Structure 1
């Protein structure tokens, strides 16, 4: 990806390591292990409410990214981490904990100390279906909200070898219908990519795919497209941009109405196919970049962390990164972070998403 990547400092470690107001948006491998990760919630060691009013970070902050390195959630974390390190006054340790549709990382968060030094970056609503499909032993609605600081759109990218044959998404659909393309790379059952392809085939009936190889995140999907393992795949605009800029793939459509700032020249799904009107797929066509702390983290600490993110968002380095990449950044506080999760659960119920997944996976 062309955006400036933050190189880990001595205090960081990695283990593998638009706008607000728009509603966006396995059989799980290892779901049982997620419950084990959760454990019992740690006791709050932060003292009373009065003491918490003057709290500030006093040690390294662990920033859990529940997806692979190179995916959109990871890209956003690394896009803000330099400025965030300065605003909190401590080193930020980005820790990639992929698997189970994001729930492995949530499991780590649920068992972490409530001392304000552990946060998680989400990709809401990516984690909602895994929660509903197979109870992991905790609820992703329980963590405390810190902020929302960005959002992304799901996009289809195509391997560079097809460039002479593909000028539009309709060309891709025609190649699938003709049998020249048969597979599209996605994440696990229950992921937005899974839901998008199910809607496209069974609800709106415009995409005649045959196979959907599954990967653990946008990074692996983009790698599979770049290598030719699959002719095309769905990933976030933030997470696929490095592959596109390297010339190994090209984007053809955003599954969010109105398109994406990252790829301003491609249409939104509502423009690309007649079968989808307006914002019908927006509930699953994009996602929010939320930040959360373990359940029971004192409110004052979440507010302090939210203020630190706001300062980091406004920092010239973050704004420059946003301008260079097209990845939007903004800041909304703890209440909004919790609202987007509740709204996602409501949307999945409204559109019978779990029934769709269970019927066709």
Structure 2
């Protein structure tokens, strides 16, 4: 009887340790990285750069799985419902913090995901037509106040980073630039250069070339630090709007229930990838500022971003179709 009891206790102990043994061996097969946006886009390109280096660090292949639709919600939901075993990863962007404020979601963004690491941030450039009568933010805002209803700002679509940046400018500067949404940044830039709209917040990758060629004028950047490629262009904070800071970002998440050891190991792989000199150079060439943070730091970042966006959406009564 005593022998049977000992055997049962041993079996129970082994069963209890089995998950731990499995976690310690992670990863022992390929990892699926869900990108909730179309292939070839900004988030997808960045994910592939980082995932390749992460694969080398982890010793296992990371396979990109594009699941676009509903502003990122389709891919996010796929990961939210995945097993927390470390083999399904979400590579998301700023929409992760925007969607809860604008859409009814089939998941809880706060409870169903574990933030792993911030990969990079992307400052935006406030640009106007080259022949615009204002050369500084102060002149631009003065013109807007003296000519109510005459100025507009384009965006790449409702709820996008360019839309939120423009609404944040409206809110903080107490002006009322009319929002003109487009289906993407390219047509917005085309109409801006043609004078159909007054201003646009564009990311560095899509906008810098037009500034350098003289087709657009850069008034300011949306981050708290100047952009190295435009050292003479001030931040909006330096231009009379203290604290203004609206950037797009990319980051990595895991489904809830993923063991802490896996979260930490994956986080270190992200940090190692982002800190690789070749990867950093590629991100910088895309107009991104490499980050690479701990899970705790990224969790705070996401919480702050979500709170900021929610407050802006309420203040400006922002809606998406």
Common fold by TM > 0.5 = yes
Indicate yes or no: 2:69 matched with 1:110. Answer: no
Indicate yes or no: 2:26 matched with 1:59. Answer: no
User: Conserved in 2, the CA contact under 8 Å of 1:147 and 1:332?
Assistant: yes
Describe the superposition over 1:205-233 as per-residue Cα deviations: whole angstroms up to 9, x where unpaired. 24x53342144xxxx21453146576442
Q: How do 1:103-252 residues align onto structure 2 when only pairs under 5 Å count?
A: 103-124=73-94, 126-141=95-110, 142-158=112-128, 162=130, 167-169=135-137, 182-206=151-175, 208-215=176-183, 220-226=184-190, 231=197, 232-238=199-205, 240-241=207-208, 251-252=218-219
User: Conserved in 2, the CA contact under 8 Å of 1:66 and 1:98?
Assistant: yes
User: Conserved in 2, the CA contact under 8 Å of 1:222 and 1:233?
Assistant: no
Q: How do 1:305-320 residues align onto structure 2 when only pairs under 5 Å count?
A: 305-320=266-281
The separation in 1 between residues aligned to 2:48 and 2:205, in whole angstroms, is 11
SS of aligned partner of 1:122:
strand
The separation in 2 between residues aligned to 1:245 and 1:54, in whole angstroms, is 50
Looking at secondary structure, tell me which structure has more helix per residue. 2
Aligned to 1:29: none
- The one of 275, 288, 306 equivalent to 1:345 is 306
Seen in structure 2, the aligned counterparts of structure 1 residues 290 and 299 have a Cα distance that, compared at 3 Å, is: same
The separation in 2 between residues aligned to 1:93 and 1:341, in whole angstroms, is 25
The separation in 1 between residues aligned to 2:255 and 2:142, in whole angstroms, is 47
State the 1:63 CA deviation. Answer: 3.9
Describe the superposition over 1:74-130 as per-residue Cα deviations: whole angstroms up to 9, x where unpaired. 443244344233223344443444443432331222233433232222334x43342
Aligned to 2:13: none
Alignment coverage as a number of residue pairs: 298
Aligned to 1:48: 19
- Structure 2 length normalisation: TM-score? 0.74
Aligned to 2:238: 271
The separation in 1 between residues aligned to 2:57 and 2:34, in whole angstroms, is 15
The separation in 1 between residues aligned to 2:217 and 2:46, in whole angstroms, is 21
Unaligned runs of 5+ in 2: 1-17
SS of aligned partner of 1:260:
coil
State the 1:268 CA deviation. Answer: 0.8
Considering only CA atoms, is the larger Rg found in Structure 1 or Structure 2?
2
User: Conserved in 2, the CA contact under 8 Å of 1:75 and 1:238?
Assistant: no
State the 1:240 CA deviation. Answer: 4.3
- Structure 1 length normalisation: TM-score? 0.67
User: Conserved in 2, the CA contact under 8 Å of 1:190 and 1:357?
Assistant: no
Indicate yes or no: 2:45 matched with 1:84. Answer: no
Give me the CA root mean square deviation. 3.6
